[in-house]
């Protein structure tokens, strides 16, 4: 696959994959109505031999606030990312590349994925992800902030931009911000500061720029 200028990579921690087993909670209900008109219901986990079947999976339904804005190809993209990150498509898989052409709404797809993982889990009350890092060119940090606000609003989610005004430690020790947005160059400078801090999901935007710098 050729690398285009707007290619995105999403990588999840190994523990995010619920297809690898684990005890399922009982009595769960979907966060959103899977039978509502226009509901975007993501696939349930495939059955595996090593899972505890004492509880059934619950439907993961994309928040209607976002689902109503998704075009068919964007729904396909969100479902593809979700299945790849949770290991549904390939055992042991934990990442995916979204390589739609520019202008097809990859940012909205990624925000939809992030919000879904931060809020839902097919097997438990705890969400699949709690801390997410978005890495992008520094010039696009503000744009990512605007997009989160545009689609979800400040009342639903707050993002933490790592820039000269904010210290990354404020994100690491706090619980107010589930999403950290950082530029590639800045990430190189703060990498050691992250220590053993664990992100459940990392989204890298415009990776052609990253690949060029690595090659150089």
Of the given ranges (48-57, 115-124, 152-161), which has the lowest mean pLDDT?
48-57
* CA distance linking residue 158 with residue 182, whole number of Å: 14
Percent of the chain with pLDDT over 70: 78
* pLDDT band (50, 70, 90) for residue 14: low
Residue 184 exposure: Cα atoms within 13 Å on the Cβ side: 15
**Most confident of the following: 25-34, 36-45, 55-64, 93-102:** 36-45
Mean pLDDT of 188-192: 88
What stretches of the chain adopt beta strand conformation (E)?
Answer: 8-12, 41-42, 60-61, 95-98, 132-136, 159-162, 179-183, 201-205
pLDDT at 15: 61
What's the chain's average pLDDT? 83
- Backbone phi, then psi, for 179, in 5-degree steps? -125, 125
C-beta of residue 206 within 8 angstroms of C-beta of residue 178: no
* pLDDT band (50, 70, 90) for residue 56: confident
C-beta of residue 137 within 8 angstroms of C-beta of residue 206: yes
* pLDDT band (50, 70, 90) for residue 48: low
Give 165-186 pLDDT, tens digit per residue. Answer: 677 888 888 888 999 999 999 9
Structure tokens at 215: 């090659």
pLDDT at 209: 57
* CA distance linking residue 18 with residue 85, whole number of Å: 10
DSSP of 58-83: --EE--HHHHTT--HHHHHHHHHHHH
| 3-class state of residue 54 by DSSP | coil
Q: Which CATH number fits domain 8-215: 3.40.50.10810, 3.40.640.10, 3.40.50.11900, 3.40.630.10?
A: 3.40.50.10810
- Is 70 exceeded by the pLDDT of residue 9? yes
Give 108-143 pLDDT, tens digit per residue. Answer: 999 999 999 999 999 888 899 999 999 999 999 999
Give CA 162 to chain center in angstroms: 18
pLDDT at 2: 35
For residue 147, what is the enclosing H or E element?
Answer: helix 141-152
* pLDDT band (50, 70, 90) for residue 196: confident
C-beta of residue 100 within 8 angstroms of C-beta of residue 74: no
* CA distance linking residue 109 with residue 67, whole number of Å: 10
pLDDT at 144: 96
Mean pLDDT of 49-56: 55
Task: Look at the alpha carbons of 137, 7, 151, 83 in this order and tell me if their dihedral is positive or negative.
Answer: negative
């Amino acid at each position: 696959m050729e690398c285009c200028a707007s290619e995105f990579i999403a990588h999840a921690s190994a523990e995010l994959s619920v297809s690898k087993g684990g005890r399922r909670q009982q009595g769960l209900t979907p966060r959103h109505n899977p039978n509502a008109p226009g509901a975007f219901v993501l696939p349930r986990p495939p059955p595996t031999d090593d899972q505890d079947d004492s509880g059934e999976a619950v439907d993961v339904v994309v928040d209607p606030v976002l689902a109503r804005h998704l075009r068919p190809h964007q729904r396909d993209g969100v479902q593809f990312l979700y299945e790849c990150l949770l290991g549904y498509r390939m055992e042991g898989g934990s990442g995916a590349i979204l390589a739609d052409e520019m202008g097809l709404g990859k940012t909205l797809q990624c925000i939809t994925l992030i919000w879904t993982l931060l809020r839902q889990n097919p097997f438990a009350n705890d969400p699949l992800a709690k801390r997410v890092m978005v890495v992008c060119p520094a010039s696009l940090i503000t744009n990512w902030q605007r997009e989160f606000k545009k689609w979800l609003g400040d009342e639903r989610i707050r993002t933490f931009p790592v820039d000269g005004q904010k210290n990354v430690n404020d994100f690491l020790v706090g619980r107010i911000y589930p999403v950290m947005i950082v530029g590639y160059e800045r990430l190189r400078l703060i990498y050691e500061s992250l220590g053993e801090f664990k992100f459940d999901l990392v989204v890298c935007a415009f990776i052609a720029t990253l690949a060029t710098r690595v090659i150089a």
